[in-house]
Structure 1
């Protein structure tokens, strides 16, 4: 049986070592589109946080929400460690999911 949703916890970043946003969704592709298109008002939109740097799918929505709340309580170095274990270069994983690369907004030209 095909599922209409896939509970996913995700972390977006403004850039490498930049501002982080932790979220949960039942449809990661749709949520990424919403973030990248500026359709969701709030923290991520206000701070230009659109780069997908980590995500974890599977389980129930209750489990995903529990994991999101857990990660939100972590201190910044723990979140950075989680990202860098799976994505040491802070690549925008949304590109692997079919999204266009984001333009860098950093003044120093760093990715």
Structure 2
């Protein structure tokens, strides 16, 4: 995974994407999420694979544009969730603290 992320970063650098403002990267990420939503709605597996991959590329690029390390961001997120307790409500995981605050009813 680390090697693939480095390849994505090199690809972006060759094209100057790494130097673009973060708002451009953010807009591109949202665009790709929209394509993923469309693919999911159609249950088009090939489109879902492409859109999910494109979204991951955009997130890597966005992290770079923001001066952040994508691996570090992912590791931080994992460390936040790894011991989290809760339950799945209507197909969505709700953390224990939100269940106690009644947020599972939203």
TM-score (norm 2): 0.28
Larger RCO, structure (CA 8 Å, separation 6 or more) = 1
TM-score (norm 1): 0.27
Structure whose CA Rg is larger: 2
Higher percent of residues as strand: 1
